[in-house]
Each structure stands twice: as C-alpha cells, then as structure tokens.
Amino acid sequence: MSPCAGTPIGGGDFDGLLKVTRLNIVAISTLAPQHRFVLSKLHDASPLRHLIQPVWSAKPASWRQYGKLLHSPFSVINRRLQSRYRNWRDDRLYRTLAERLEPAAAERFSDVEQSLVAIDDFNRAANVDLIRQLQPDVIVTSGCPILKPEIFGLARLATINIHWGIAPDYRGENTLFWPLYHNDEANVGVTIHKIDAGIDTGPILAHGFVDCGPEDGEASVTVKAAQVAARLLPGIVAKIEETQSATGQVSTEAGTLYLGRQRTWRHDLTHWWRRRRASDRRTIEAHDEIYIDKPASGLAS
C-alpha cells in the first residue's frame, strides 16, 4: 500500500510553537525504552504532571488452568512455549533499544508524580477516579493498554496515542515488524492519533515515516521511529495548546489489525532468512505528514 495522502512538511509547521506549555499533561506508558525516550523528550518541552505506569503482576495458578492442561496438554504447552519465546524476543529487543537510545532518559522523570497500577483490568473504577482527580488537559499514551471511553474521555482537550506503526494500514501490535515482513518499507513509521473506541482507528494527527533500507531490521527501525516520534510529539502538543483543540483526519480504510499472538517464531525465522537473501529491497527516505488542524479531506490508502 502507498502512504496515506497528506501534506508532507518539515519541522516548519511547528515553528514558534516549541516552547514550554502550561497544559496539564498526564502520560500513561509501560515505559519500555522507546516509550521512555519519546516521553522524556516531550517532558523537556511540555512538563508532564503525572506519569501512570501499567505493570504486570504475577497471577497464581487456578484450577481452571490445571483443567485446561489436563484436557489439552499439547495446546497448553505450545502456548506457554510461544509466550516464553515472545518474552525472550522482546527482552532482547528492549536491551538493544536501551543501548541505542539515550540512557539518560531513565532519569528524566525524577520530578514527575508517578503511579504504578496493575495492567490487568486497567479501566477499573479506581484508575478512572485517579485520572479524573488529576484533571488532565491532555492524556498522552505510548505502550498502553486499550483504554475505554470512561478514561480517554477524561481529557479536556484530547487523549492522543503514539502508535508504533503506520495506521490504518498496520494497526495493533508488532506493527514495525509486519511491514518489514511484507516488504512494505514505504509504510514503516509512527502514527500520532486521537484515541477513540477502536484499536488505532482514531483521527490521525501526524504520520512520521522513517528512512528504511535493506540493512534495517526491527531494532533499527524502532530506534528511528522513536527519534521521529520524539521530534513530532512536542509540536503536536504545542499545537493542541495553541488551538485548544485536536482536529485530525479520519481514514476511509480499515487497514489490518495485527494481534500479538499472530507473530510466531516461524515469522521471525522467515523474515531473518529473507533479509539474508534480499538484494532488491527499496531504500525509503524519511518524511512527515501532518494532519492536525488541516482541512479535512479524509485519508485513503
């Protein structure tokens, strides 16, 4: 697919806007290295008031799980092996990102109020009350559970998400990997969009496409995507403060939703083999497409 239609621009769209804002900004993020890097750059330009970090908590084994093991042992063992493989793969990626992205980003939030909350049932009443009490002007999410309207509707101006992929073509999870897997280098990048009731379907405020060549893999394009998002996000937030609104453009296409469980070791092995043999992959140049407060024309893939 070709990139969505829009107005390619440089940083000039935000000239004069990149100053410290007075917005009450609440961020929600698991703070993986790429998320931490982008939010630290936003914090430099527009200080965060509060940072909510969803965290995983261990669950005790239940009788229902033992029942599944007895009924379908091979299926359960396969799922557990896949889970362990995904954890290993993600840990390896995160270690690489932590080395390549700014290590000092880990210290940027020492002056920000922070809350650790369980990632399970994130939309529960206690978290709704927490965010309501914070009275956010803008909620910014990156690496965040799916939010329901009772949370994303609490922001006075907008709740915006940094999606690590080009929506709507690539929605869901692993959306920097899948375009590489499908040899679709023209659709590798990030999307900044408003959150709605769908999954990565909200009005699009900006696309940032990264430069991508034959030598690039998931780690290198994630680093590039983090750098692009860190450059675009402060300008988007400043524009929201200037206009007191966040009007984006809605795609006319549904795109494809990728679930985390769809990617297996077989896809990773196939992609690794293709990269070794590929000699005709295109080299794509980086560019931005900004839609916030642009005349509404709709996006078409």
pLDDT tens for 164-179 read 999 999 999 999 999 9
| 69 vs 237: which has the higher pLDDT | 237
Query: Where are the chain's structural domains?
Result: 8-57+74-290
pLDDT at 135: 96
Position 5 confidence tier, pLDDT thresholds 50, 70, 90: very low
Q: Which of 14-23, 85-94, 242-251, 258-267 has the lowest mean pLDDT?
A: 14-23
Position 77 confidence tier, pLDDT thresholds 50, 70, 90: confident
| 79 vs 271: which has the higher pLDDT | 271
Q: Which CATH class is domain 8-57+74-290?
A: alpha beta
pLDDT at 155 over 80: yes
pLDDT at 6: 41
Mean pLDDT along residues 186-193: 97
The label of the residue with tokens 């091979």 reads 74
The tens digit of pLDDT for each residue in 192-221 reads: 999 999 999 999 999 999 999 888 999 999
pLDDT at 69 over 60: yes
pLDDT at 4: 45
Task: Supply the DSSP string of 30-83, one letter for each residue.
Answer: ---HHHHHHHHHHHHHS-EEEEEEEE-------HHHHHHHHH-HHHHHHHHHHH
Position 3 confidence tier, pLDDT thresholds 50, 70, 90: very low
pLDDT at 2: 39
Mean pLDDT along residues 128-149: 96
pLDDT at 90 over 50: yes
- pTM recorded for the entire structure: 0.86
Contact 49, 131 (CB under 8 A): no
The bridge status of strand 287-290 relative to strand 8-9 is antiparallel
pLDDT at 14: 56
pLDDT at 259 over 80: yes
